[in-house]
Every structure is written in structure tokens, then in C-alpha cells.
A and B are shown apart, each in its own frame.
Chain A
């Protein structure tokens, strides 16, 4: 029966193999951070669980992080969820295991990400359930009724970029199963900007309502102008949200308003504070001492009124109603009930968003700002930086050709940094170096001069920076006589020519090119944008409070790329929907965007990627999220943009608006697509896309990608989780349909460099992020169509002569697998002694060369070649490497001799002691046997250290001398010193001396001892031979 079934199974055609996330993610990825600059924290909450403090941190675009040790360490707990932008975090006041998270940050800057509703965890963040409000996109506050915790209120600003009905205040009374909108905005752009509760009377709620809208070229907080009507206001309910009344009491400023923040003093709930973005000069902090009936205008210092859309949050001390914190560019606090404020941001980064005040010790504060998380233990006088949250928000990334290569990138509000792709001991925060200032975007090494790099701040403020002295020269192109402002995007594109070393491009509304490091700029295009004057009114942007920071600068060039095949072919995409190409180095330009069927107008051209295999090939991504369309758009043309094919089918699994597409430089069918919600890989030119989750890369925004052309690493710039590296993507290039259909296939990787054996780093404690290095071992990659569950599966390594060098365990997963081999031979035999010689627990490295890897899977075998090359940084000659290997093997031989010698002696000693034990203690023969055993032990102790007890005995014998010497040889690839060579010989000779002493002893003593044994009818003693010892498995 079963045989028949087998036969039937064998007749069935192989099913089509799906290329999904799990097919490709086995390549892994490593996060190199950094947490040095960290990134924006949007919300946080904390609770004492017993004597310990548990903290939940909501990163603006990097998930939820949990600490159970007061902030020493954090772990990401939201990584399996489909969004990573966090707006609100609230711990259930009765049950610290119940956590509410509102996804979608609500500090509504131009680069803010999106969420997909409200989540709850009932197990301290291990598992999450999305409980709805899925179209809210942004949530700013969640309040749990402390008396009835199934009653929860949610403050939903709602969509930033488009009208929507899903905004306002929502309530559940069944723990999130069902939701009711209990307060609706006055129009389709008004939602809730802050919600506060009187915890003594939790039916009493105050809601700030906010009328807002962002577009690619403008923003309004309030109406379209400082005086235009707005639906913003502040409302109060005393019946749990069943009814609301707008507060219009005396003392409140006249409408229109922009963003509103509101907070109730927990220790005196009739005291209510509200920050109201009213028309200046009435934009200020307001205070009511009668639960909202009457109000008094108080502070309106700079950090009270600055950028309300980004900072409208008030936190009242849980014990002192007169102490109130206001977040802003600086963190300010009032100790006199809001009359005056002092700056307490101190050494923190700045641009604060939330504060947690420890109810047990109100001097203990935790705050989050654009640079991460900070702790104070003296009421904000001084701050400790958290060094453990790699939630950095990169915009762009590039790499250089150093060994190891460096990674360059600019970050939201965190300048432009360089860090190594690997570092002995791990990539700590200290290895990353800040090179510029402001918000950071594109950044490149100067390919013509390793001492220089290019970096920029917002609005095209590009500089050429000396990386050693950090001296920088502003080289931004400037307007001509009578010319209006050049329009540089917030995220101004810079491009380094691949074909003309030293040529740099930067885009305003026109494209600039420099061939002299920015000394002069040549305009090589006319205005390539729509030049729509309606999108150039940034001086009026902001609504109630003007906010013209370059973030809304529009009708600009947003993407530039020169063809790697022809430097005369240059592509420029604009933020207002033009895609222009020149084939003559900028003399003439053609706008080809109209040729893309199905693409809505005015889409941001978020990236252009000229093909590596056809001069007319171009890939482009388009971003319409500023129009409220969050779908990905990516297209390809093979004829300079005349005709296009879409790369993301409507039924594709790809989610999130598209930021970047890259064509693999070796395999044109291999594409990488970064969207707001992750990284996607296609091995068939865009027909199928797989969500790449290697190394547990979450669904974080992937803003840029770089492929290191020498090492074939994919470097991923995430906006919220730092830089990730997929080491050696060569195997992805080999994932053909034939391979995918095969049960098992080895996939060739890059030649394996035998990394220099180097150490580094130091004890950092546990509160420091350390980025992972690539493995020092050789990596062997294979594909399996199914997981291996039953039967043996192993890998063996053979040298060129077919000699088996080692056996490795295998990885069993479906899809791509990676297994490492140490590139070391087996370690030596080492005689037992008082302590282990761990340095001699490793074999020497094999020499560079070609090795054969053989996989045995059940009874089937597969083989591949593994090429090992020296670390290119190494200066050791082949002869030196051979000398080191020869010496190591010789010492292994000596250690084997030594082990045999000791075991030979131990055999005699044990035999003597065993025979003596069979005789009365007073027997003369017994005494003689024991004396003989002691004599042999004296010899043994010339070879091995024997003092025990767990102390530093300092006892060194031949074994300790030789294993120490051995480890110094096998952990260095170059030639041994003459001293080492001579020392190895000396120890070997000393060993021979002891062996001779033992041989002499046996010649002298053994016959007599055996005669004595025979007289007692005891078995004579024989010394084992080398052959016997080896035959016994040694």
C-alpha cells in the first residue's frame, strides 16, 4: 500500500514553487544601528512591577520597545506587526500586562509614517491583536478608565494627507471588541489632537480637536490661513463621552485655532491646562482652576508656542498640580502652575515629544525626543542618554570601497554619519561618527579623495567635509542676480557619477553638475518641474502658525541618476510628477512621465534606477502618499521611457508607498524594492515579490538601498531601525526557477576572505547597542524546497586531495539556508591536566584554496566548491601561512606525543595502584608498588600541571607551555617568529627527555615489579605501545 502511494506521489508533477518571504529570508540580515544618534520617540509609558520599572517606548517609526529593568536593556516587541509607526502607548492601570498601542505617530511632520489602527497585548507585549480603527493612520492618545479597564478612549487625529471619517474620539466598553465614535470633528479634516481624563472622575474627559491637513507643498494647522475658519476646539464631557460641550468659557482665546493640547492635574483635577494654538499673540498656555469653566492665559514663551503640530503635549506632575512639563524644541517645566517656564532639556538632543514622571519619585523622569530616550533622576536638571535603542531614521545610504567598507547616511534631525560595516568586537555606538549637522539626507564618500565626503542638511545645504578634521565647506549652488530662491527639496537629491570620477549632481528646480568639488556648478537643465506657482507658497504654509522650514518646499527635483552605462544619459524625477531624461549630458531633456499608463498625475518620483544591462533601461518608483494614496508604484522602461511596464501588480503582496527600487548589478531579474512598510525582493524581474524578513527585519520603512559592488552586500537604510546589511547576496542571483524547483541546491557565494583574526571592543555593560559583525567563518548557502525534518543531514568539507577536514551541522529551514564553517582543522589531542587549555581547543586555519563541500541528506549527496582567499588587508605571504600551518601541525604532533606519553604513564600508575590495592597496606610489595607509582607520577608532573583547587596556581609544565605557544600560532595567519619556532622545538626536546626518563624507568624497574606481582599472583604490568593506543581510538 505504502509503496503504491510512493509511486503515485512520484508521478505527480512538481507543484509550482512559491517565492515568498521564507524562500529568501534565510540569508539573514544584521542590524548595525546605530543607537548613537537613535531616533524619534513618539510616546512612552512605564509602570512599577514590584520594585522594578517596566518601560514601553513607542518609536516614531521603529516599533515598540520594552524594558523590564528600568531602561538598561530594551527588546523590540512589535516586530511581527505589519506597521512600525507608533503614536500612543498606554499600560492598563490595573493590569501591567495589558498594553495598548495606537499605531501611527501623530507628531505630524512631513516625514511622519502611518499606522493601521489600535493594538492590545494581554501578555506584556508578546502577542498583539489589532482591534480596529484600521483606517485611522494616526493615533495620539489612549486613556484607560482606571475603575473599569475595559472602557478605553482613543484620541484619533486621523489621516494627515486626505479627508476621512475615521477620526475623533472613540470609546470601547468591551476591551476593544467594538468601538463607538463619541466625538466627531466639525469637518472631514478635524480629528482629536489630545485627550485628558480626570482620573478621580473618569467619566470626565477633555478633548482637543484639531483641524489639519498636509499636502506635498503646504501644511495647515487650523484653516488655510491664520484667519481662515477652522474646526479646532476644546471639548468636555462629564458622562464618559455620551455628550460633549465645547468649552467657550471666559478667558479662552477667540477662534480660529490650530492644534490643542490639554491635561488634567492628577492631584487636583479641577486644574486643567491647555495649550492652544490661537492666532498670535494669543497662542499660549491656558489654565482653568474650575474644571474648564474659566481660563487664564499664562506662558507663551518660545518653547510653548513653537511648531504646535510637532509638540502639542502637556504633562502634569502626578503629585504637584503646579508642576507642568511642556515638550517642544526644548523641554520646559513650570513650578508655579504655568506662570513661568524654565528650559530643562540640558544635554538631551531636543525636539521632545513625551515625558513620563515616576509617581513614586517625581524627580525621576523619562523623556523621548528626536534623538531617542533620556533619563533624569533630578527632576530634569541632568539627563542620561539611552544608548540601546537603534531606532535611527535614515533617509539615504551609500558605501565606499574601503576594507571593510564604511556606510554613510543622513538621518531625520540627526545629521549625517559614517560607520564601519564591521569592526573587531562589534560595531558599538562609538564607531559611528557624526560628520555634519541638521537633518541629514544623501551622503557620499568623495571617490576622488578618501579624505573627503559630501553631506547635506535640509534644503540642499550640501557641504564637502574633511572626514579627519571635520572641517566643512558649504558648496550649495546659489541664486543668480535677481533670481528668486532656488527650490531645493527638504530631501535634496545628490548623485555621484559612476562613469565620470569627480562629477557630482545636485537638484533644485534645475539640475546642477560640478566637476571641481563644488567650486563651480554648471546648470545642465532648464526648470524640470511643473513650476506650478500654486505649489510655491511656502511662506504662507503652517496655518495658524507659519512654519516654513524647507519641509514643504515643492516643485523640486527629487531623484537623480546617471546611467552606469553612459554618462550622457541622466534621469531626473521631480516631486510634482515629472520624469525627465537627457541623452546628451543635459543639452536636451524629455519628460516621459505621460508615457506611464495608469500612473496618477503629480506623483513624487521617489527614485530612479537606470539599468545595468541596457542603456535605455530605467526603473522608477512613484510616491503618492501625500495625496492619501499609500499604494506602491514601480515601473520599468527599456526604451528610455517611451513605453513602461508596471512592476507591482494590483494583487501583489507589496504594501506601502514606494521609496526606492534597485536592480541587481549582476542579475537583471533580481530587484529590490523599499517601501514605507518594508523590503521586497523579486527574483523574476518583478512578477513575484517576497517580503524580506531576514534577521527579523521588521516592516519598517526602507528609504534607500545600496549594493556594495565588491563584497556584494545589500545595505538597507531604514527610517526607524537604522542600517541593516544582508551579507553577500550572491545566492539570490542564482535563484532560478530550476533551482527553486529542485529539492536541494547549493548556491555559490562570493569567494570567502579569511578575515584577519583580530579582537577589539571592551566591556560596555548591557545598556549599549552593539551592531553585529558578519561571521568570521566561511558561509555556505543552500536552498531547500522543503524543511528537512527526518533523517540525517550534514555537511562535510574535503581538501583538494579528498581528505575529510570536518563535519558541520546543517540548517534545516525551507528556502535559503546558511551554514558556517570555521575554516579550521580539528584541534589537537591535549593530555589531561589540572585545567583545560582552551586556546588549544581549536585547530589551525586551513590555507586559502578551493575546498569541496559535500551535503548528505538522508542518502542523497550534493557537492559544491568553496573558494577561500586571504583577507585582502593581510600582507602575509603564502610561504608564511604555510610555515604557520606547518608549525601548528608539528605542535599538534608534539601534543599527540605528549598525550600518549601521559596516558602511558597513567596506565602504569593506575595498574600499580590497582595491584597495590589488592594487597594489605603493610605488605612490602604493596609499598613497593606505591613507591613505583609515585616515581612515575614525578615524571608525569614534569609534563602536565597537576595542582588543583580552582586557584591561579601559576603552575606551568610542558603541556601548559606548549598549548600557550600553540594558541599564539593558530590565532595568527602570518608566519611564526623564530623564537616561537625554536621554543616549539625546545619543548618537543624536553618532552623527549621525559619520555626517555620514563623508558629508562620501565627498563630499570618494570621487570622487577612484574616479578614481585607474579609472586603475589597478580597480573604483570605492560606499558601500552603507540599502536595499541592509536588502535584504541586515540
Chain B
């Protein structure tokens, strides 16, 4: 049944796909199509929390259990577990913190500059394209580019902190297939790229269940891959989960 749903979705989009000779795209029209393709704004906004659970695969066969919990408006908690130990990066909308227990220290500490840039991206519940104006993001459409073998619409997103992401939307289905990010850290650019796939519906919204990330230009073996087994929507997530232990929400 699920397969049929996906197939119907593909068929519907294949037939309604805008030909390449269509009038010029704009950032707003592409974002609108992306939202529509994902399930529509109403379904997106109906998601209040998300818990993504799955596996991290690194180089040489390294695997870890990962969980990412998001709660509106912009809280996130990311767990990374091996050998009964769990590392945490989290953000409660105001403060970012972490626990890195790997060498025998389990105290929560503040996230560093690089980590804060990253977790702010992850805390953005719908991603930077949806309601980008209210988030202070600027989005520019930069044309069609080939990326990983496919044509993609390239959207440049500039966040209020100056970080830039390039979102590549598949020209047929309008969902992001790749995100390239440039963060300015202590005045120097750090560049990352993420490939997305395995989109499946969660409460009527298509979300990517797999991603592959690494520094720009890194080979596939050097990238971290995350595959989610399940993404649960609207699970109860207490605000306290996102707050640095010892602090109040």
C-alpha cells in the first residue's frame, strides 16, 4: 500500500512537472512548489514535534545509534550513542549545550561557535525555506544546475548570522536533494555538503529518511551517513529535554 502511495505520487508529479521551457522560476514559486510537494503548509504546520531515530554510519564500519528530537518553535536535541554512552547536543531556543561523555566527563557544557551554527540550522523545524522572511533569511533563485547527476533548482539561502546554504531542489519533484552550506567561523569559511534521499511521508509530510554529510569535496567514504528507521510526529517531548541540565526552561 505504501508502495502504491509513492508510485501514485511519482506519477502525479511526473505528469504535472513543469517543462524546462516554462516561464522563469522564482525563489517564491519554487518554495511554494516545494511546500506543496512535501504535503502542503497545513500538514507541515500540523507537525509539532518530530523524533527521528536511526543509525549513523561512518568510515570503516563505525556505527552509532542516533536520535534527533525537534519541537516547535526551535528546540532540538540530538543524541549519539555507542557502548551505552550517549553524547548530546541540544538547543532550547536560547542556549546550546552538549554532553561529550567519551573520555569520562559528563558535565554539560556550552556549544562552541561552530556547533552553535550547526545546531541553529537543525533547530529550524521546517528548514530555512519555509516562512523564510519571518526568520530573516534571504532566498535567491540562482538557476538550474546539475548536481549528482540530476538537474536541480539552486536556491541560495542567507541566514541572519551570515551563513549561506545552497538548496538544490529536484526539477521534477521540487524536494531538496542536496544542501551545500558555508558557515563563517571566526571569519573563515567552513563548507559542508549534504545529500538527501529516501523521502517518505510522516503525518502526510514527505521527509528525507537518509542523508550523507561531509566537508565539501570529501569522498563518500569520508562522510557521515544517517539512515532513520522511523520518524515519529507529535510525540510528547517535554521542554526540559532541550534545556541544559541544571537550568530552567
Using a CB–CB cutoff of 8 Å, the interface residues on chain A facing chain B are 2-3, 5-6, 9, 21-23, 25-26, 28, 30, 50, 52, 68-69, 127, 696, 772, 775-777, 787-794, 806-815, 818-820, 822-824, 826-827, 829-838, 840-843, 858-859, 899, 947-951, 953
In terms of DSSP, what is the predominant structure of the interface of chain A? loop
Kindly state the separation between the CA atoms of A793 and B189 in the bound complex, as whole angstroms.
33
- The segment out of B26-34, B111-119, B213-221, B237-245 that lies at the interface is B213-221
B102 pairs with A835, CB closer than 8 A: yes
Query: Would A812 and B57 be within 8 Å (CB), given that A791-B3, A830-B84, A949-B105 are in contact?
Result: no
Query: Would A5 and B15 be within 8 Å (CB), given that A834-B104, A835-B103 are in contact?
Result: yes
User: Closest 6 CB pairs between A and B?
Assistant: A822-B61, A950-B105, A832-B84, A814-B149, A824-B61, A22-B149
Q: How far is the CB of A467 from chain B (nearest CB, A)?
A: 30
For B206, what are the chain A residues with a Cβ–Cβ distance below 8 Å? Answer: 790
Kindly state the separation between the CA atoms of A537 and B212 in the bound complex, as whole angstroms.
61
A812 pairs with B170, CB closer than 8 A: no
Total interface residues in chain B, CB < 8 Å: 57
* B11 touches A (CB below 8 Å): yes
Kindly state the separation between the CA atoms of A504 and B70 in the bound complex, as whole angstroms.
69
Find B221's partner among A791, A820, A824, A842 (CB 8 Å cutoff). Answer: A820
For B197, what are the chain A residues with a Cβ–Cβ distance below 8 Å? Answer: 787-789, 793, 810, 812
For A949, what are the chain B residues with a Cβ–Cβ distance below 8 Å? Answer: 104-105
Nearest residue, chain A, Cβ from B15: A5
Nearest residue, chain A, Cβ from B57: A809
* B146 touches A (CB below 8 Å): yes
Among B117-170, those with CB < 8 Å from A are: 142, 146, 148-150, 170
* B246 touches A (CB below 8 Å): no
Kindly state the separation between the CA atoms of A971 and B125 in the bound complex, as whole angstroms.
41
Kindly state the separation between the CA atoms of A53 and B14 in the bound complex, as whole angstroms.
49
A68 pairs with B83, CB closer than 8 A: no
Task: Tally the A-B contacts, defined by beta carbons under 8 Å.
Answer: 166
Using a CB–CB cutoff of 8 Å, the interface residues on chain B facing chain A are 2-3, 6-12, 14-15, 55, 57, 59-64, 82-85, 101-106, 142, 146, 148-150, 170, 173, 175, 177, 187-189, 195, 197-200, 206, 209-210, 212, 217, 219-221, 225-227
A776 pairs with B60, CB closer than 8 A: yes
B10 pairs with A69, CB closer than 8 A: no
A-B contacts, 9 of them at CB < 8 A, read A3-B8, A25-B149, A68-B188, A696-B217, A790-B199, A791-B200, A811-B195, A948-B106, A951-B104
Nearest residue, chain B, Cβ from A842: B61
Q: How far is the CB of A340 from chain B (nearest CB, A)?
A: 43
Nearest residue, chain B, Cβ from A695: B219
Kindly state the separation between the CA atoms of A535 and B41 in the bound complex, as whole angstroms.
74
For A21, what are the chain B residues with a Cβ–Cβ distance below 8 Å? Answer: 146
B148 pairs with A812, CB closer than 8 A: yes
Known contacts A22-B148, A899-B84; 10 additional CB pairs below 8 A are A2-B12, A6-B8, A28-B220, A775-B219, A788-B198, A789-B199, A791-B6, A824-B60, A832-B84, A840-B83
For A822, what are the chain B residues with a Cβ–Cβ distance below 8 Å? Answer: 59-61
Q: How far is the CB of A685 from chain B (nearest CB, A)?
A: 23
For A835, what are the chain B residues with a Cβ–Cβ distance below 8 Å? Answer: 102-104
Kindly state the separation between the CA atoms of A261 and B104 in the bound complex, as whole angstroms.
66
For B195, what are the chain A residues with a Cβ–Cβ distance below 8 Å? Answer: 811-813
For A3, what are the chain B residues with a Cβ–Cβ distance below 8 Å? Answer: 8
A820 pairs with B220, CB closer than 8 A: yes
Nearest residue, chain B, Cβ from A843: B61
Nearest residue, chain B, Cβ from A895: B83
B83 pairs with A792, CB closer than 8 A: no
Find B210's partner among A809, A820, A831, A832 (CB 8 Å cutoff). Answer: A809
B219 pairs with A30, CB closer than 8 A: yes
Query: Would A858 and B6 be within 8 Å (CB), given that A5-B15, A30-B219, A824-B60 are in contact?
Result: yes
Kindly state the separation between the CA atoms of A793 and B227 in the bound complex, as whole angstroms.
10
B142 pairs with A826, CB closer than 8 A: no
Q: How far is the CB of A433 from chain B (nearest CB, A)?
A: 26
A127 pairs with B142, CB closer than 8 A: yes
B83 pairs with A841, CB closer than 8 A: yes
Kindly state the separation between the CA atoms of A787 and B198 in the bound complex, as whole angstroms.
11
Query: Would A2 and B60 be within 8 Å (CB), given that A26-B149, A28-B219, A809-B210 are in contact?
Result: no
A842 pairs with B62, CB closer than 8 A: yes
Q: How far is the CB of B181 from chain A (nearest CB, A)?
A: 13
Nearest residue, chain B, Cβ from A812: B197
Q: How far is the CB of A120 from chain B (nearest CB, A)?
A: 16
B188 pairs with A69, CB closer than 8 A: yes
